[in-house]
Amino acid sequence: MSVAFSKRALQKCEQIIEQYPQKQAAMLPVLHLAEKEFGHISLEVEQYVAGLLEVPPVKVHEVVTFYTLFPRERRGKYHFQVCRGLSCDLLGCNNIMRHLKKKLRVKVGGTSKNRRYTLSEVECLGACETSPMMQLNDDYYGKLTTSAVDKIVKGLK
Ligand code: FES
């Protein structure tokens, strides 16, 4: 199966590339666009992006494997990232993680069979004043308790 941007994403990609003096310089924003479009950055997506940017696929692969923010496999609709930094650790992130594993029936680094949830642990999310905290897709949730987690999960569509 070959991958290709939708017409709309391709237009957006062209707009992004136009903003840079060289196509290669647009790699990060184009990869973010590809992640949104395809849900992850597989080898096939890397090759597609390489073609768009007119660079060897290995150049894209180097960037994708350097940054942890590009998922290599398809994630669930809801991606829970529980902070395991020092401040969150001291304030109970282990408890939050244990609770989420049980509630979502997913192990750390895993995705539920129905592709609804992915659970990850991450280092400091830069919001230590609200420890313990997690990121759920693009949103941050702080001062977490297990009952707050229950409310958040219940509110998901
Ligand atoms: S240690 Fe968790 S946000 Fe900093």
Ligand 1, atom 1, lies closest to the CA of 85
Q: Which two tokens stand for residue 137?
A: 């897709």
Q: Mean pLDDT over residues 28-49, rounded?
A: 94
Cα distances (Å, whole numbers) of residue 93 to 62, 97, 140, 155, 156: 32, 6, 14, 21, 21
Q: What percent of the chain has pLDDT over 90?
A: 83
- Class in CATH terms, 78-154: alpha beta
Confidence of residue 10 (pLDDT cuts 50, 70, 90): very high
Residue among 94, 96, 120, 125 to mutate when testing ligand 1 (max atoms within 8 A of CB):
125
Distance, in Å, from the CA atom of 52 to the CA atom of 24, rounded to the nearest integer, reads: 9
Q: Looking at the chain, how many residues does it have?
A: 157
Ligand 1 contacts CB of residue 86 (under 6 A)? yes
> What is the sign, positive or negative, of the torsion defined by CA atoms of 13, 18, 61, 107?
negative
- Identify the residue whose tokens are 């902070």: 83
Q: Flag whether pLDDT at 1 surpasses 70.
A: no
Residue among 94, 122, 131, 135 to mutate when testing ligand 1 (max atoms within 8 A of CB):
131
Cα distances (Å, whole numbers) of residue 89 to 95, 122, 134: 9, 11, 12
